[in-house]
Amino acid sequence: MAYFEDMSPCTYFGNWSDRLVSIGWLVPEKEFETGDVSKDFFDALFSMLKKPWQPFVTAGHEPCRFCRFTHGTAMLRYLDGEVSIGTNNLFVPDGERAFVAPSSIIHYIDSHRYQPPAEFQAAVLRESSSSSIDLFKKMKSLGITQQQA
Ligand SMILES: [Zn+2]
């Protein structure tokens, strides 16, 4: 997986790198923030990841490089649902920009003590209650729109 420092421009998608802010693109070779997060945040992140808005579909499961032997899980089950790990990316609009995180972020938080930036946590807590239509409109206003695969 590509590495981007938290809060740096995300060039992974080729487009929109001036508006996309990287969150949770971790690799074992680079240090990252660790610490507690609230259950409210984790629950909000989980609910957004159940149906992530994204401009295109990516294929293939990206293994977790922090899990030494099992390489992490491809499916995280929690509460009343499940999300696939290491496949999708999560886009979270935040004013004039959008955060983008790999779906593995929820595994990094759960199993590897990752603590994402406070601004990202606030945006997830706010946007988790937005409908997918509202999210689509916000992303569209940033010029980030669905593309045909
Ligand atoms: Zn792992």
Number of domains comprising the chain: 1
Q: How many Å lie between the centroid of ligand 1 and the Cα of residue 69?
A: 9
In a domain, 79, yes or no: no
Which pLDDT band holds residue 32 (cuts at 50, 70, 90)?
very high
In a domain, 1, yes or no: no
In a domain, 137, yes or no: yes
Taking only the tens place, the pLDDT of each residue in 7-18 is 999 999 888 999
Taking only the tens place, the pLDDT of each residue in 49-62 is 987 777 766 666 78
In a domain, 115, yes or no: yes
Dihedral of alpha carbons 61, 80, 133, 126, sign: negative
DSSP at 55: S
Q: How many Å lie between the centroid of ligand 1 and the Cα of residue 145?
A: 31
Cα separation, 145 vs 54, in Å, equals: 8
- What pLDDT is recorded for position 96? 96
* Mean pLDDT rounded to a whole number for the chain: 91
In a domain, 97, yes or no: yes
In a domain, 124, yes or no: yes
Q: How many Å lie between the centroid of ligand 1 and the Cα of residue 143?
A: 33
What is the domain range of residue 108?
A: 20-25+34-67+87-141
Taking only the tens place, the pLDDT of each residue in 69-102 is 999 988 999 998 999 888 889 999 999 999 999 9
Q: How many Å lie between the centroid of ligand 1 and the Cα of residue 137?
A: 33
